[in-house]
Amino acid sequence: MTRPAPLPGMVEDYEALRGAVLSGQPGGPQFGRVVVERAGLAAWAEAWSAATPAPRREAPKPTCPLPVAVDETVRLLAGMAMAVAGAAR
């Protein structure tokens, strides 16, 4: 019996899931972890292949350019914060 070849990205996602489980650290692909723990690896592979990837979106372009006077803006904001902190004493 021959096994079907894994779909593109499946091995990488499995390895990410495996690494998260073995490290014992919170985080990682929690949905996949729950599926493996409750239904097994075959169920994970079936769910993975049935999942539709989220559409990739490009970051929106800024509607206005960044201010040229970044240093002056930082100094102004820092001065305001220091003034508020001094007034609170």
In a domain, 29, yes or no: yes
In a domain, 25, yes or no: yes
Q: What is the pLDDT of residue 59?
A: 76
Q: What is the pLDDT of residue 68?
A: 65
In a domain, 71, yes or no: no
Give the total number of structural domains in the chain: 1
Q: Could you state, in chain order, the average pLDDT of each consecutive group of 10 residues for the chain (89 residues)?
A: 74 85 74 84 86 73 70 88 80
Range of the domain at 32: 10-50
Closest to 44 measured CA to CA, from 82, 18, 66, 25: 18
Closest to 41 measured CA to CA, from 65, 66, 13: 13
Q: What is the pLDDT of residue 79?
A: 92
Q: What is the pLDDT of residue 36?
A: 85
Q: What is the pLDDT of residue 78?
A: 92
Q: What is the pLDDT of residue 80?
A: 92
In a domain, 70, yes or no: no
In a domain, 38, yes or no: yes
Using the structure block, give the residue that is written with the tokens 């292949």: 49
Q: What is the pLDDT of residue 1?
A: 62
Q: What is the pLDDT of residue 8?
A: 79
In a domain, 86, yes or no: no
Q: What is the pLDDT of residue 46?
A: 87
